[in-house]
Chain A
């Protein structure tokens, strides 16, 4: 089945530092989604990337989809305490596109 890795597993940063998490798939993807889960909460959709090499920005968050459509990254500039949580990628399978295999997540802690 589809295999997806996320690195790092954990990241502790000082408020104001940047943060990046990477999602890598063993297969070519039709799309990739990113979700954020706050501690004690449920995952919330952030974005979907579809095109090879696509880059999308949401305020301090920058999302990239690799040229080969096998990896993606999420970069946060100047982290804030509100960024605390776990970030999951959810790759869409090439032959259908449904996203229900979630990566293991990267847990971000932001120290004030």
Chain B
């Protein structure tokens, strides 16, 4: 099956700890994205990557870091510098070239709770 997976589905961490959220896709998409969603709110872009070994900050990148060493994988690290990390984290992927239909395919998300 082609798709995008995120793990774990639920994650709990203690304040002051870094945590890494996994995102893998087998859709052969060049572009990948991380969004944060707070309860009852919209999606806010954290980071995006349009090609391997390159990524750009989104609107709320502070306290987060990413890597894009492989086309299929775009892990997100929530660092202890992120002041309010409890949220629903969504990863997505899409084709990247201008003019293409670049609909985003979303993973099931990871709900992070900081205790």
Binding site for B on A (CB under 8 A): 1, 33, 35, 41-45, 48, 88, 90, 92, 96-105, 107
Selected contact of A102 from candidates B43, B99, B103, CB within 8 Å: B43
Cβ of A104 and Cβ of B58 under 8 Å apart? no
Selected contact of B102 from candidates A1, A35, A43, A97, CB within 8 Å: A97
Assembly CA distance A45 to B102 (angstroms)? 10
Selected contact of A97 from candidates B41, B92, B99, CB within 8 Å: B99
Considering the complex of A and B, which 8 residue pairs feature the smallest CB-CB distances, nearest first?
Answer: A45-B103, A42-B106, A104-B42, A102-B43, A105-B42, A97-B98, A43-B106, A100-B45
**What residue in chain A is nearest B105 (Cβ atoms)?**
A45
Cβ of B98 and Cβ of A42 under 8 Å apart? no
Number of contact residues on B: which range applies? 20 to 34
Assembly CA distance A37 to B16 (angstroms)? 32
Q: By DSSP majority rule, is chain B's interface helix, strand, loop, or mixed? A: loop
Which B72-115 residues sit within 8 Å CB-CB of chain A?
90, 92, 96, 98-99, 101-109
Tell me which residues across on chain A come within 8 A of B59, comparing CB atoms. Answer: 1
Tell me which residues across on chain B come within 8 A of A45, comparing CB atoms. Answer: 103-105
Selected contact of B42 from candidates A41, A44, A103, CB within 8 Å: A103
**What residue in chain A is nearest B108 (Cβ atoms)?**
A42
For residue B48, CB closer than 8 A to chain A, the reply is: yes
Interface centre among A35, A44, A90, A98, by most chain B C-beta atoms within 10 angstroms, is: A98
Assembly CA distance A98 to B109 (angstroms)? 21
Assembly CA distance A51 to B31 (angstroms)? 24
Q: List 20 A-B contacts (CB under 8 A).
A: A33-B103, A41-B108, A42-B108, A43-B43, A43-B90, A43-B92, A45-B104, A45-B105, A88-B42, A92-B102, A96-B98, A97-B98, A97-B99, A98-B96, A98-B98, A99-B104, A100-B33, A102-B42, A102-B43, A107-B40
